[in-house]
A = this chain, B = another copy of it.
Amino acid sequence: MSLRISIATGSSVPIYRQIAEQIRVSIATGRLEVGDQLPSVRSLAENLVINPNTVARAYGDLVKEGTLESRHGRGAFVARKSTGLTRTERMRRLRPSLEAFLNEAISLEFSDEEIRSELEKELKKTRRGEEKHG
């Protein structure tokens, strides 16, 4: 099984967004490939012990943005890797989390050098997951 989703019930970020984001990352890092089938709405909902509507919402959002393709009666599939957004738009979407991260780092009194080094460590850790798919 190449998709493993975990939800943090305590988090302030809504469950459906957690799911969508983890699927997006799985695709961007290659753990999920174009054409791969996703677990059915109901089965994933059962696994995560949440309401099917919540999973459906996540899938629906990904379908709307073109990341997934849903074939009625058959299931949901990875449609493509690319986002279809302009560079400006991608930037605009990245900004909030970048600012949040930097604000947090600075208020925690991390130096520029420490921030860079933490970023590199996390980057290496994240990219490492791209190699093992299958």
Interface residues of A (CB under 8 A from B): 8-14, 21-22, 24-25, 27-29, 61, 64, 66, 69, 71-72, 79, 81-86, 88-94, 96-110, 112, 115-116, 118-119, 122-123, 126-127
Which chain B positions have C-beta within 8 A of A64?
Answer: 61
Docked complex Cα distance between A102 and B9 (Å): 19
Jot down 19 A-B pairs with beta carbons below 8 A, ordered by A.
A11-B96, A14-B72, A25-B107, A28-B109, A66-B89, A86-B86, A93-B108, A94-B108, A94-B110, A94-B118, A97-B105, A98-B105, A99-B122, A100-B100, A102-B119, A103-B126, A112-B127, A115-B119, A116-B116
- Chain B residues near A84: list those with CB within 8 A: 85-86, 88-89, 92
Residues of B within 8 A of A93 (CB): 104, 108
A101 CA to B72 CA, complexed, in Å: 22
| Nearest chain B CB to A56 CB, angstrom units | 12
Establish whether residues A98 and B86, one from each chain, have CB atoms under 8 Å apart when the complex forms.
no
Contacts of A91 in B (CB 8 A): 118
Q: A24-B107, A84-B89, A127-B112 are in contact. Are A97 and B100 (CB under 8 A)?
A: yes
